Chain A
């Protein structure tokens, strides 16, 4: 018995190892291969645009007010129809997030009255310098599909008057 037991246990272990050779692997070949994130994953922020390319962000600074880590800095300026960034009177002329401070809690998403800031899928953040960790608006803003839709741009006067869109009750 004294001899058999360790051998038995060893064999059991080796059998397990051997069996796993035929199992589907759980590891992925990161970074060549990436795993899909969960629907509610909170990654790096993205500043969204409307379908017409105008920025959703109106520079209200409520995300900065909600941020428990004081990671967001917003400064607003005034829109004109010749030089329009977002609908309505106000847009964010400076929008910075310090990714080292951010704790990815998502309060900024909740606070946003225009659903402009969304925590996206990107979790690949690395910096070699503290300054790099501060993402300016250009890095956060969603790219435009078409060059004509970029901001700022000249728009027809008097069309984009409302800063805060008419919104339905959130469903999800």
Chain B
């Protein structure tokens, strides 16, 4: 327990832990000290001088070490000048005055200086209306400037830092929040200051510009309108926007978000999403989110949206579509195969599972990653918060590139490592997280299980893992397919079980899934199937929220063997083109529901925009089909479905909408009331979600599968092995519709070892042709000297269908001649 100190701020007695900054202590007492450069998530910089206050400390008698008393009170000595509240830590008996004339004058002076070259173009500034500089100037500013108008600096107003973030140099007040965010929190120093004095400017140090997946956050914490996003540029004024709470559906982190919506003439008078902002949840995403979540929401308004059911590719009514589907299902009950993906909500998956079970059919999870049954047993316990891991704790990240797969987990794991947690990164190649790892293990492809098993030995790393206070293991599918990742998960589960790091908070297994609600799908009883082709043969296939035909030509071929295909999706895909019946579903922006995150936190999202066309929610469609087949499935309300789910799925027992909506005070205090402090992040008023308990936690018997030594195919001497890796910005349906990200998505690029590249006669940026699984494709080449010479890294969802490690023939292509 840290020592508690008592001080007086404006006559209010405050007791705070030792080491607290004066500005934070005041905030805790409800007293606002204005700041620009200080941010509660970052180290103080003390460069804006806005937080100047009068600080007095008790006079201590050197001889006795006691406070000198005066009229029965300790004698307080005030410093002759103002001090910065953001760099001074509190001390016992300190007296802080924030409202005196001296302080008011100080604030006036500071603002007068900050505004010397500010363009005062608030009317056209995207920050105008939620701008700390604007608000604090109104509250504390001098009203008039003594500086000469003609001597104002005129600087570039439209500088692209990257293609996602614009910089307005005139508005910048050099607080360095953006630079410090990138340095301290993300660990990617891609921004910096150039020149000095009045010439100081923010520049991007990376190529391509602002090369970070967290760039959008800098615009949130920018206290002026210097950094704005290209996506929201002149989109609306902040006061015109309506806020709807949601959960990001791009990855298993489950970041809490807020959709800002507005009716728009450009969109034909529809209510549309104008921007996505993070919503505070200190146990999930703190106040951050990644650029994919922030900018890739456009797919829900894509022109490819399905708006009307079709029967045999002709437009039909819902009644006709339901009739045909019901008849077909009725006629061949146990031949129905439901293939659903983790893009769906818990309610959708519950109804689909109920439907499949009611018919006696099969339910398959569409994924290339296994191990979800283990996270339910030895997953992280209730109350897990990566933000609490630090000294004495260990985090193992194995076969996962968190930066690309789940950026906010990367951020939080990196910060845990900064706080002193032992980070072990095990992968077959270099990943960005490795830089912060105390131990980086580089294994050969195929040695994943062995690597994890070796952590149960006498080695230093093994000892450190075993003796850790808390240990969390992230496992992924980097370079692995379904079987490989399932084996790896089993090995990780065994490691945790044997070292007794299960069944309690901040301990356990986390799957870095490929889709947002894969964990939820496992909870509902969906299981992946290694051989989808034979599962489709002669069956009635009901595909929901997945595009197998588009992902893999082999699966398109396999689907031809199905007797009848029903596809339920939000966008037109190759699979919908093959379908007998297409049922248009609502996007998650148009409906409510819940997702289960990778940390097994159930969180609720709400409808933000009106429904596209005649689309219906996935759970409602499945529920309606179920009803028509005589099953008692809910087809109306998502939350009624959730209640039924909670009543029948054991791990969800006792959950209800009230529990999901519970909030508690969070630090730092953010919200619309004081944007200057935490940024424009939204306050969480809609619920922090509930983490599910694990079997180990409930004291139930944990049955782990046997660990098989061989985890995946190994490269052989004479051949190359193509292994799949995940890219953040890929050509998946949920990303590709966003034009702004086109440049980041880029061309399909495979990584080769320099020696392999040399042998094939290609250089970085050259082209190769790949032949695997009877398919051939072309791709650009990137050189990565950290991978093994026997493998080729192939990105997922980029048009190269490598679902499992597979042997590949690679040929270097000569540069195409310009004809």
| Residues of A participating in the B interface, judged by any CB pair closer than 8 Å | 58-62, 64-65, 73, 75-78, 88-90, 93-94, 96, 113-114, 161-164, 166
Contacts and interface: CB of A to CB of B under 8 A. Distances in A.
A163 B265 contact: no
B152 to A, nearest CB: 10
B198 interface: no
A43 to B, nearest CB: 25
Interface of B: 119-121, 123-124, 128, 149, 154, 157-158, 233-237, 239-240, 264-266
A65 B237 contact: yes
A88 B265 contact: no
A58 B128 CA distance: 14
Nearest to A95: B265
Nearest to B264: A75
15 contacts: A60-B123, A60-B124, A61-B237, A65-B237, A65-B240, A78-B234, A88-B124, A89-B157, A89-B158, A89-B234, A114-B123, A162-B121, A163-B121, A164-B120, A164-B124
Contacts of B123: 58, 60, 62, 113-114, 163-164
A65 B124 contact: no
Given A64-B240, A164-B120, 13 more contacts: A59-B234, A60-B124, A60-B237, A75-B236, A75-B264, A76-B124, A78-B234, A90-B234, A94-B265, A94-B266, A161-B154, A164-B119, A164-B123
Contacts of B235: 76
B124 A58 contact: yes
B121 A96 contact: no
A58 B122 CA distance: 11
Contacts of A76: 124, 234-235
A30 to B, nearest CB: 36
A15 B100 CA distance: 78
Q: Is the interface of B mostly helix, strand, loop or mixed?
A: loop
B227 to A, nearest CB: 15
Nearest to A112: B123
Nearest to A94: B265
Contacts of B124: 58-60, 76, 88-90, 163-164
B199 to A, nearest CB: 19
A60 B123 CA distance: 5
Nearest to A164: B121
A64 B263 CA distance: 14
Given A61-B237, A166-B149, A75 B266 contact: yes
A75 B121 contact: no
Contacts of A59: 124, 234
Nearest to A163: B124
Residue with the greatest number of chain A CB neighbours at <10 A, chosen from B157, B265, B266: B265
A64 B266 CA distance: 17
A75 B157 contact: no
Nearest to B150: A166
Contacts of A163: 121, 123-124
B225 to A, nearest CB: 12
A75 B235 CA distance: 8
Contact of B239 (A65, A96, A113, A166): A65
A113 B120 CA distance: 11
Contacts of B158: 89
B265 A96 contact: yes
Contacts of A114: 123
Nearest to B154: A161
Contacts of B157: 89, 161
Contact of B234 (A73, A77, A161, A164): A77
B485 to A, nearest CB: 45
A61 B124 CA distance: 9
A96 B157 CA distance: 28
A96 B263 CA distance: 13
A96 B264 CA distance: 12
Nearest to A76: B234
A69 to B, nearest CB: 16
Contacts of A78: 233-234
A92 to B, nearest CB: 10
A169 to B, nearest CB: 12
Nearest to A114: B123
A73 B265 contact: yes
B237 to A, nearest CB: 5
Contact of A75 (B119, B120, B149, B265): B265
Contacts of A162: 119, 121
Contacts of B264: 75
**Across the A-B interface, the 9 shortest Cβ-Cβ residue pairs:** A60-B123, A76-B234, A90-B124, A94-B265, A113-B123, A163-B124, A61-B237, A90-B234, A164-B121
Contacts of A88: 121, 124
Nearest to B156: A161
Contacts of A65: 237, 239-240
Nearest to A75: B265
Contacts of B119: 162, 164
B459 to A, nearest CB: 58
Nearest to A111: B123
A34 B265 CA distance: 37
A90 B123 CA distance: 10
Contacts of B128: 60
A16 to B, nearest CB: 59
A58 B149 CA distance: 22
B118 to A, nearest CB: 12
Nearest to A73: B265
Contacts of B149: 166
Residue with the greatest number of chain A CB neighbours at <10 A, chosen from B233, B234, B235, B264: B234
A73 B265 CA distance: 9
B103 to A, nearest CB: 31
Residue with the greatest number of chain A CB neighbours at <10 A, chosen from B123, B124, B154: B124
Contact of A61 (B121, B154, B240): B240
Nearest to B266: A75
Contacts of B236: 61, 75
A73 B240 CA distance: 10
A88 B240 CA distance: 22
A139 B737 CA distance: 36
A61 B266 CA distance: 16
Contacts of A64: 240
Residue with the greatest number of chain B CB neighbours at <10 A, chosen from A89, A96, A164: A89
A88 B125 CA distance: 11
Contacts of A58: 123-124
A107 B123 CA distance: 16
A32 to B, nearest CB: 39
Contacts of B120: 164
A62 B119 CA distance: 18
Residue with the greatest number of chain A CB neighbours at <10 A, chosen from B121, B149, B233: B121
Contacts of B266: 75, 93-94
A72 to B, nearest CB: 11
A18 B530 CA distance: 108
